[in-house]
């Protein structure tokens, strides 16, 4: 059975054709949200949402509508979508396609980012021609680009979220010599995954910090 | 090393560009738009601000309206600014994907992943995107996989034709690599007249493009 994901703005017709053209759909997950400062936009999004829900109900397709608290908060949206995608994948569900045509720009961009990281077939609908375009996504397999030690270091830093770890403390946790860990840390700094900050009390020490983007990269699941 | 900030733009994106200008260090600002975005009032404001700092804004207009040609154009543009034309040294390119039309924004994100360029979303807050510097989606491929990938096309080929083109160490080795590429979703396969035919999938064609960008010629 297949799930279709989509971002929804004012136009239900940007999403419904994708549901219609995908085989064996038994679930639709839709992300929508409106600009709180614009009451007109809330009304239009609600109407679009009603149409998509009605379409799915009539076809006996389960639908989950995710109301985004802030449809301009790129990071939260990306984390939410990635967690939802992973949940379905872990449950053995096939994600047929992700339609990124609707919704706010941050919502649509966050969805595209997740599709690249998770390797989900993605459809975009041209703003002007309304033509459905399948994006030739190549999954970004960062886990295969990182060495085993680099993955171990990132794993420890993720689990230690919020706590300060110096290079020496990290080396102890990894169970390797400081020079070995430093070599891998330098590679991770070069790749933009971690950064080193001066210790506030001891200038000889450095604190290892995960870049915020690494959390997006690894996902929360 | 010169720091180049490349920002996708359309009329109405002034605040997004200003946020990127405030948050991301740069020496040269490049604004990338489509259509008549180069004539917008917001862009005039950006130009005035840069002039006050003694700099000029470079404005690039991409004419393509189809997705993949637009990604190619954006990729080429980033590649161009990645090297200092005068000194031939490497620049540090940072990309702001939040501006521009939805199509341009998606194309810029695609290009950033293709090249492993540091990218940000600047709209209200600044979010660094999880793109590892200089790491491309094709970085995971072995030399043998890359060589075979480059010998394929989107037309159907028999195994004999592929072996003749790619010249793997042995037919078995070639078959093994083809299986690996198929697992990555880079190949389509069909049986015709008792023979297996293979061709690049859309993702395979994209992978081939990225390899060619990384190793031109």
Across A45-59, A201-215, B57-71, B179-193, the highest mean pLDDT is recorded for A45-59
What's the CA gap between B142 and B135, in Å, rounded?
14
A213, B130: Cβ pair inside 8 Å? yes
B67, A135: Cβ pair inside 8 Å? yes
Domains of chain B are 3-128 (3.40.50.10770), 137-214 (1.10.10.10)
Name residues whose C-beta falls within 8 Å of residue A206's C-beta, 6 or more positions apart in sequence: A166, A167, A196, A197, A198, A199
The answer to whether B20 and B4 have CB atoms below 8 angstroms apart is no
Question: What pLDDT is recorded for position A200?
Answer: 86
Q: For residue range A15-43, what is the model confidence (pLDDT) as tens digits?
A: 998 999 899 999 999 999 988 778 888 99
Pairing of strands A132-135, A122-125: antiparallel
Question: What pLDDT is recorded for position B1?
Answer: 83
Under 8 Å CB pairs connecting chains A and B tally to 108
Residues A125 and A148 in one domain: no
Name residues whose C-beta falls within 8 Å of residue B87's C-beta, 6 or more positions apart in sequence: none
Residues A177 and A115 in one domain: no
- pLDDT of A219 > 80? The answer is no
B→A contacts (Cβ < 8 Å), by residue, are: 65, 67-68, 97-98, 101-103, 105-106, 109-110, 113, 118, 121, 123-125, 127-135, 137-140, 184-185, 201-203, 205-207, 210
The pLDDT tens digits along chain B (217 residues) read: 899 999 999 999 999 999 999 999 999 999 999 987 778 899 999 999 999 999 999 999 999 888 889 999 999 999 999 988 888 888 999 999 999 988 899 899 989 988 989 999 999 899 989 888 888 888 888 999 999 999 998 899 999 999 999 899 999 999 999 999 998 889 999 999 889 999 999 889 989 988 888 665 5
CB-nearest to A124 from B65, B106, B140 is B106
Tell me the shortest Cα–Cα distance from B132 to chain A, in angstroms: 5
Tokens 């979303």 locate to: B121
What are φ and ψ of residue B152, in 5° steps? -95, 165
Identify the domain boundary among A135, A161, A194: A135
CB-nearest to B102 from A127, A136, A138 is A127
Mean pLDDT value of segment A178-197:
91
What is the domain range of residue A191? 142-218
Q: Is B155 helix (H, G, I), strand (E, B) or coil?
A: coil
What's the CA gap between B42 and B107, in Å, rounded?
22
CA A42 to chain CA centroid, nearest Å: 24
The answer to whether A121 and A137 have CB atoms below 8 angstroms apart is yes
Identify the domain boundary among A108, A135, A162: A135
Residues A125 and A103 in one domain: yes
What CATH number should be reported for the domain holding residue A20? 3.40.50.10770
Which 8-state DSSP code applies to residue B83?
B
Looking at chain A, the number of H-run helices and the number of E-run strands are 9, 9
Identify the domain boundary among A84, A112, A135: A135
Residues A128 and A57 in one domain: yes
Tokens 């054709």 locate to: A17
């Amino acid at each position: 059975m297949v799930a279709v994901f989509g971002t929804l703005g004012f136009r239900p017709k940007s999403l419904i054709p994708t549901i219609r053209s995908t085989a064996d759909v038994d679930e639709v997950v839709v992300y929508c949200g409106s600009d709180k400062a614009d009451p007109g936009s809330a009304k239009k999004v609600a109407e679009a949402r009603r149409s998509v829900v009605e379409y799915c109900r009539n076809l006996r397709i389960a639908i989950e509508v995710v109301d985004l608290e802030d449809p301009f908060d790129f990071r939260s949206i990306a984390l939410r979508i990635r967690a939802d995608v992973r949940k379905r994948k872990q449950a053995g569900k096939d994600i047929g396609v992700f339609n990124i045509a609707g919704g706010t720009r941050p919502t649509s961009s966050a969805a595209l980012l997740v599709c690249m990281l998770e390797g989900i077939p993605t459809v975009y609908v041209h703003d002007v021609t309304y033509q459905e375009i399948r994006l030739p996504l190549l999954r970004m397999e960062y886990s295969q680009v990182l060495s085993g030690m680099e993955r171990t270091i990132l794993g420890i830093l993720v689990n230690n979220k919020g706590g300060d770890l110096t290079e020496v403390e990290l080396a102890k946790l990894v169970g390797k010599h400081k020079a070995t860990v430093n070599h891998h840390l330098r590679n991770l700094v070069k790749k933009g995954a971690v950064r080193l900050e001066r210790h506030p009390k001891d200038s000889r020490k450095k604190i290892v910090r995960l870049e915020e983007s690494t959390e997006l990269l690894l996902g929360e699941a | 090393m010169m720091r180049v900030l490349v920002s996708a733009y359309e009329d109405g994106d002034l605040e997004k560009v200003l946020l990127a200008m405030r948050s991301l260090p740069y020496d040269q600002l490049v604004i990338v738009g489509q259509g008549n975005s180069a004539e917008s009032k917001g862009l005039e404001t950006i130009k005035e601000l840069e002039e006050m700092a003694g700099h000029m804004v470079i404005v690039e207009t991409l004419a393509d309206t189809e997705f993949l040609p637009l990604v190619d154009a954006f990729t080429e543009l980033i590649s161009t600014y990645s090297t200092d034309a005068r000194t031939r040294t490497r620049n540090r390119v940072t990309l702001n994907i939040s501006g521009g039309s939805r199509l341009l924004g998606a194309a810029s994100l695609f290009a950033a992943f293709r090249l492993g360029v540091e990218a940000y979303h600047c709209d209200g807050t600044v979010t660094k995107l999880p793109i590892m510097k200089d790491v491309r989606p094709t970085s995971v491929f072995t030399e043998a996989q890359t060589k075979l990938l480059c010998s394929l096309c989107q037309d159907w080929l028999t195994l004999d034709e592929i072996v003749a083109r790619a010249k793997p160490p042995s037919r078995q080795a070639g078959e093994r690599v083809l299986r690996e590429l198929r697992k990555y979703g880079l190949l389509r396969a069909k049986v015709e007249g008792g023979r297996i035919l293979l061709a690049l999938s859309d993702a395979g064609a994209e992978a081939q493009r990225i390899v060619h960008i990384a190793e031109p010629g």
